[in-house]
Amino acid sequence: MSDSKPTGDHGRKAHNMTQSYEDMLQPAELEENWQDDANCLGVDPDLFFPERGASTREAKEVCRGCVVRGQCLEFALQNGEKFGIWGGLSERERRRIRRQRAQTARSIIGA
């Protein structure tokens, strides 16, 4: 997917419901066809792309408990998705993870 809105299989389910924030800082490998198990399959994609300042609560609620949520988030991180709710996180929340991943990579390289 690119920066354009997906057509019906956007948000995905939680890969591991006990996935910690620290786990999110480590890039993960995506399974093939992970979208097929997404909670958001068939949900109006506009829900995941709210207007600026609008609530993201409903979209995040769809993501909560999703069995591929972690894979959805990883897809968004690896593909630089700049808009929408992916893996239950907003762009601001994903930016924080990308920054922390970059910082971790720099500290490993510099070590």
Residue 82's identity, in one-letter code, is K
SS3 93: helix
Q: What is the pLDDT of residue 22?
A: 55
Q: What is the pLDDT of residue 26?
A: 56
Phi, psi (5° rounding) for residue 89? -120, 145
Residue 37's identity, in one-letter code, is D
The pLDDT tens digits of the residues spanning 8-41 come to 445 433 334 345 555 555 555 666 888 999 999 9
> Which letter does DSSP use for residue 4 in this model?
S
Q: What is the pLDDT of residue 105?
A: 87
Partners of 89 in the beta sheet?
86
The pLDDT tens digits of the residues spanning 82-102 come to 999 999 999 999 999 999 999
Partners of 86 in the beta sheet?
89
| Whole-number Å distance between alpha carbons of 15 and 26 | 14
Q: What is the pLDDT of residue 111?
A: 61
- pTM to 2 decimal places: 0.71
| Whole-number Å distance between alpha carbons of 50 and 23 | 27
The pLDDT tens digits of the residues spanning 35-72 come to 999 999 999 999 999 998 999 999 999 999 999 999 99
